[in-house]
A = this chain, B = another copy of it.
Amino acid sequence: MDHVPASPQEEQVAAFRAFSRFYTRRIGLLEEHLYDSPFSLTEVRVIYELAQRAGLTASDLGRDLGLDAGYLSRLLKRFEAKGLLTRTPSKTDARQSVLSLTEAGRAAFAPLDRASHDQIAAMLGRLSAADREDLVGAMRRVQRLLGGAPDADEPFRLRGLRPGDIGWVVHRQGLLYATEYGWDQTFEALVAEIAAAFVKRFDPAWENAWIAERDGGIVGSVFLVRQSDEVAKLRLLYVEASARGLGIGRRLVEECIRFARERGYRTLTLWTNDILVSARRIYEAAGFRLVEEERHHSFGKDLVGQNWNLDL
């Protein structure tokens, strides 16, 4: 069956399904390693849950792990008979009892836990540090997007420039403005040029760049370059569509302003286009004033360029 995906939608569905099949196998492999323990896979899942969370009832377990009530009942009875588990009647509901592992239960769980831990650690160990971070970040993202994890306490983090960053920024901006506004590749080339020039002429005393990260992936960036002793320019502000509404853009601009003030610049300037309305709102809120507009034909489109200034 030659599946030639017709639309992006279909391609996404195909990728999702491919991933599910892939991970089903992967989980199978992970579980095989467990098979010299005295517990079945489901038993391990139950013990794991009991070890992690306190105050569980049988129905909690059944619901969360998707187990049959009858099967679970017997399983728990077996655990209790082996002395791994105690049940104390619930105070609020006489039908339920609260489950908790005994010392023996924890002792039985420890080697399993360790084996699983070591197995994963070994797998991660085979990757480079960068790939490891990348992998874990991607997993967090999948989990978050499929509704499996609450947002972290800290929704994003700022850091400085690292290898690979400017390419990534060029890639994402090139793609975004091409799909969203139909700009051609000369825009991407311009971004590449600006980013390259920034790195080559980088003067840490006067310039800086910030990358916003979320779940190990880059979701935004901004560059501050020196134009003269008095004037700094904010360039390449960018926030991923999937990370909007978290205040990342505002925060990046704030960092720029703070840095510019600190270094004694008098004016912060920037160039943008009128169609980029969400960026405009950020600039306005930060106190920038529109000083100039001019029509131009760039990136295959007729556009209205804008210069904005902020007195520091």
Residues of A within 8 A of B (CB): 1, 3, 9, 11-13, 15-30, 32, 45, 48, 51-52, 54, 64-66, 116-117, 120-121, 123-124, 127-143, 145-146, 148-150, 161-175, 177-179, 183-186, 188-193, 195-200, 216-217, 240-242, 244
When distances are taken between beta carbons in the complex, the residues of chain B under 8 Å from A184 are: 163
With A29-B66, A186-B199: A173-B167 Cβ-Cβ less than 8 Å: yes
Determine if B185 and A189 form an interchain contact, defined as CB atoms under 8 angstroms apart.
no
A77 to chain B, nearest CB (A): 23
When distances are taken between beta carbons in the complex, the residues of chain B under 8 Å from A168 are: 167, 171
When distances are taken between beta carbons in the complex, the residues of chain B under 8 Å from A9 are: 121, 124
Q: How many copies does the complex hold?
A: 2
With A15-B136, A170-B167: A51-B200 Cβ-Cβ less than 8 Å: no
Determine if B134 and A145 form an interchain contact, defined as CB atoms under 8 angstroms apart.
yes
Residue of A22, A128, A164, A172 most packed against chain B (CB within 10 A): A164
A114 to chain B, nearest CB (A): 11
In the bound assembly, the distance between CA atoms of A242 and B126 in angstroms comes to 14
Determine if B186 and A116 form an interchain contact, defined as CB atoms under 8 angstroms apart.
no
Among the listed B30, B138, B164, B177, which residue makes an inter-chain contact with A174, where contact means beta carbons less than 8 Å apart? B164
When distances are taken between beta carbons in the complex, the residues of chain B under 8 Å from A217 are: 138
Among the listed B139, B174, B216, B244, which residue makes an inter-chain contact with A163, where contact means beta carbons less than 8 Å apart? B174
With A9-B121, A124-B13, A127-B145: A22-B150 Cβ-Cβ less than 8 Å: yes
In the bound assembly, the distance between CA atoms of A15 and B21 in angstroms comes to 21
Q: When A and B form their complex, which 6 residue pairs have the shortest distance between CB atoms, in order from nearest?
A: A167-B171, A167-B170, A163-B178, A130-B241, A164-B175, A189-B199
A255 to chain B, nearest CB (A): 20
Q: Could you give 21 example pairs across A and B, Cβ below 8 Å?
A: A1-B51, A11-B216, A12-B124, A18-B149, A24-B45, A28-B66, A130-B242, A131-B242, A133-B242, A138-B141, A163-B185, A163-B188, A165-B174, A167-B171, A167-B188, A167-B191, A185-B199, A186-B200, A189-B195, A192-B193, A193-B193
Residue of A17, A48, A138, A199 most packed against chain B (CB within 10 A): A138
Determine if B164 and A171 form an interchain contact, defined as CB atoms under 8 angstroms apart.
yes
A99 to chain B, nearest CB (A): 14
In the bound assembly, the distance between CA atoms of A253 and B132 in angstroms comes to 27
With A13-B121, A28-B66, A175-B164: A19-B146 Cβ-Cβ less than 8 Å: no
